[in-house]
Structure 1
Amino acid sequence: MTSANLGLSPVEFVNTIRVDHAVSLLRTTDLSVEAVAGQVGFRSANSLRTLIKRSRSMTIREIRGNRANA
């Protein structure tokens, strides 16, 4: 599947993949937000927080609180 097929720009496509992986890590590990951000390719935890909030309408705390739903 390509970004064009999904109606996303290449940057949006990559960020979607990064956010999905970050959410998975946040739900299944005790890594810090900073560590997760670095592992998925963001320069800062704030960038990751912003994208998660925009794309998932959730905070890090809400994601971590939903570990049972992973």
Structure 2
Amino acid sequence: MLLTINGENRHVPQEVDNIEKLLRHLNIQRKILIIQHNDQIVSPENYASAILREGDRIELIHFVGGG
């Protein structure tokens, strides 16, 4: 399945069909992360129910501390 992740086209296996599986596939920790799915913010409790489809746009926004 073709997704646009942070502005880049990426192919993921068909079984990666929700946000939770996508994070596991990409080896991304859920700690401090905001996810936009087709311009809508997805809450962590909804990652498993946020179904991915061909052509969807995903933005993974990480927070970085500093001073």
TM-score (norm 2): 0.31
Name the structure, 1 or 2, with higher relative contact order (CA <8 Å, separation 6+): 2
TM-score (norm 1): 0.30
